[in-house]
Chains A and B, each alone.
Chain A
Amino acid sequence: MTRVNFKLIAKRLSFLVLVIWAASTIVFFVPRLSPRNAIRERFAELARSGGFAPGDIEKLIANMNQQFGLDKPLLEQYWTYLGNIVRMDFGYSLNRYPATVTDIISQALPWTFFLLLVTTILSFIIGNLLGAVSAWPKAPRWLRSIATPFVLLTGVPPVIMGVLLLFFIGFRMKLLPLGGAYSIGVVPNWSLDFALDLLRHQLLPGLALILGSVGGWVLSMRGMGVTIQGEDYVNFAEHKGLTGGRIFRDYYLRNTLLPQVTGLALALGTVITSAIIVEGLFGLPGLGTVLNNAIRANDFPVIYGIVLFITIAIAVLMAVLEFIYPLLDPRVRNQ
């Protein structure tokens, strides 16, 4: 076994902490620089519909400010806030009080997580295989040209892909549902019918995300595949008489996949934000819809909580990908 490089790990972890700290600080100070006061707005809204006397509102707001610790000095608030972030405590939702933001996020998270997991893995595999094949000179012509339509779709944001899929497949052909997590009137249960219903509702958003990201993988993989063809070890393998499939798998894919894993780490931010917006479009009950509703209802703690949570998740995932990289690449492992 190789010796674990503690210094490198410490460096990466401190970078991770720095990123999370920077994001938390931005999320703390930006709203406090703004003239908007979430609590005041909330009560003004309640007053319009409910009928409080203005004097009572001032008292209520003062009371609330005290309860949320907003009357304390800014620096003290900042320290409390950083402590809360470490404990993953993002405060209470204004709109769905007494639910905490953490509750709301953990209810929505499984939806987003599975959608993201499946679509990211599928588009990574499909994109890299297509890209590798399209740069592989021995592949049949028809196989190489499959990649072209995906490349043309590269610039299209997944949410627009979603609108087009909704129009053609959902609206025109009436093949798949137009939105929601499951059919209206169905009660969630553990039957096969319900599972199929769930799946049918996930197909279009999933397809939108996959079509929106496959092209990117194809492009970067193809670029890399072309440079690797001229390498001596590929020529050597050919002259040794290895079969095409063997060279493709063990010499060609093996070496081109490594930089693509780094690419995956860098693309995580885009992938996750796209997924959230697509979820909002299709009204799936994941983080995207929660964020959409929170924006509409001015539920600031939920907006900030989701933003911070996703930022932390992305930073952690990037660090994890960096840590598993040595397992994939023996050259890095031995250094």
Chain B
Amino acid sequence: MTTIVATSAPEAAVQQPGRLTLLLRYFNRNKGLAIGLIILIALVLFTVIGLMTINPKQAYPLSVATKQPPSLKYPFGTDFFGRNLLAAMVVGMWQTAVIGVIAGGLGTLIGIVLGFTSAYFGGWIDSTIRTICQILTPIPVLLIQVVVAGSLDKRDVTIITMALIVVMLAWMGPTLVIRAQVLTMKERQFVSVAKLSGVSDIAIIFKEILPNLLPFIAAAFVGQVFAAVFASFYLAVLGLGPLREPLLGNIIWAAQLQGAFFNGWWWWPIGPSIAMILILGSLALINMGLDELANPRVRRTE
């Protein structure tokens, strides 16, 4: 959009709005993306400021008085094991972010590599990758993750292994999405032109197709982070997480195990639950917003 300043000279008549104005205008159209980003930034600030100000030792058992309700000293209270829940949530959110970014990044990367190989080269490679994806897709990922996590020695389960367990069965989605996009992209004229002018396969993939897929890749990445956070949360709620760490799911698992509501310690599971809602909600909003950015035809129906 341009604004026309009528009185000035003709050559200066068309004034491009600044980048910031354009960005703000876009956010006004795509409100979901804006709200999601604002929540995410707030969560990041909470975690970063928290990590700088709190004593991370208090996120672990026997560091503070037990079973204290929320107060000025302990804004989220303390739990049965003597953890300061504010500290536990700050560390837990940091760990959730680590799992999400590692698992989401790896999953997307595998998806990009497999999706490109599958779609660009076709033939038996394509049918093998596609068949494996199709067979694995109906198997509920969480249940297989339960088997993997359960088979590990409890001492071996760390934040990093959690991320690896989650990513092990989470690359099928991005593979299929990227594959479908590359397939349509391959038929476009600019790719044919590049091919006819003798550009190599590798150069076509990296210089012609990949840049055009960036919005899809970004959306797939956010979707993967969402899935990874969700999956690691469920595993932790089942008691398969790194039990020593204050992961948000672990806190809820421990609270349920100790009968927090039966005993009146209501604050114990509430904080982590709300944090989880905010994390998943912001990721879902950003994901939907990016979908709209990648594919303007998918307008939401408001």
Contacts and interface: CB of A to CB of B under 8 A. Distances in A.
Interface string B136-148: 1011111110111
Contact of B238 (A163, A171, A295, A314): A295
Contacts of B280: 155-157
Given A135-B301, A314-B138, A159 B147 contact: no
Interface string A284-318: 00000001100110001001100100110011001
Interface string A66-81: 0000000000000000
A31 B147 contact: yes
B261 interface: yes
A222 B302 CA distance: 10
B180 to A, nearest CB: 16
A331 to B, nearest CB: 24
A310 B151 contact: no
Contacts of B147: 26-27, 30-31, 303-304, 307
Nearest to B283: A155
Interface stretch (A1-9, A105-113, A273-281): A273-281
B152 interface: yes
A36 B151 contact: yes
B273 A300 contact: no
Contacts of B142: 273
B162 to A, nearest CB: 15
Given A23-B144, A155-B277, A277-B234, A295 B135 contact: no
A4 B64 CA distance: 70
Contacts of B277: 155-156, 160
Interface string A215-226: 000000011011
A167 interface: yes
Given A155-B277, A167-B270, A273-B234, A295 B140 contact: no
B87 interface: no
Contacts of A226: 301
Interface residues of B, number: 41
A179 B257 CA distance: 12
A217 to B, nearest CB: 15
A118 interface: no
Interface string A184-207: 000000000000000000000000
Contact of B276 (A31, A160, A303): A160
Contacts of B269: 163, 167
Interface string B246-278: 000000100010000110101001100100110
A232 B121 CA distance: 41
A211 interface: no
Q: Report whether over half of chain A's contact residues are helix, strand or loop; otherwise say mixed.
A: helix
A272 interface: yes
Interface string A1-32: 00000000000000100110011001100110
A86 to B, nearest CB: 18
Contacts of B234: 157, 159, 273, 277
Contacts of A22: 135-136, 139
Contacts, number: 127
Interface in B10-41: none
B230 interface: yes
B71 to A, nearest CB: 19
Contacts of B252: 159-160, 163
A35 interface: yes
B138 A19 contact: yes
B237 interface: yes
23 contacts: A15-B134, A15-B135, A19-B135, A26-B139, A31-B150, A36-B152, A155-B284, A155-B285, A157-B234, A163-B273, A226-B301, A270-B140, A273-B140, A277-B238, A280-B256, A292-B239, A295-B238, A296-B239, A304-B147, A307-B143, A311-B140, A314-B138, A315-B139
> Closest 6 CB pairs between A and B?
A269-B140, A34-B151, A155-B284, A307-B143, A31-B151, A226-B301
Interface of A: 15, 18-19, 22-23, 26-27, 30-31, 33-36, 135, 154-157, 159-160, 163-164, 166-167, 170-172, 178-179, 222-223, 225-226, 269-270, 272-273, 277, 280-281, 291-292, 295-296, 300, 303-304, 307, 310-311, 314-315, 318
Given A27-B147, A303-B146, A311-B139, 20 more contacts: A19-B138, A26-B144, A33-B151, A35-B153, A155-B280, A157-B280, A159-B252, A163-B273, A167-B261, A178-B261, A226-B301, A273-B142, A277-B234, A277-B238, A280-B237, A295-B146, A296-B239, A303-B147, A307-B146, A310-B143
Interface of B: 134-136, 138-144, 146-148, 150-153, 230, 233-234, 237-240, 252, 256, 261-262, 264, 266, 269-270, 273, 276-277, 280-281, 283-285, 301
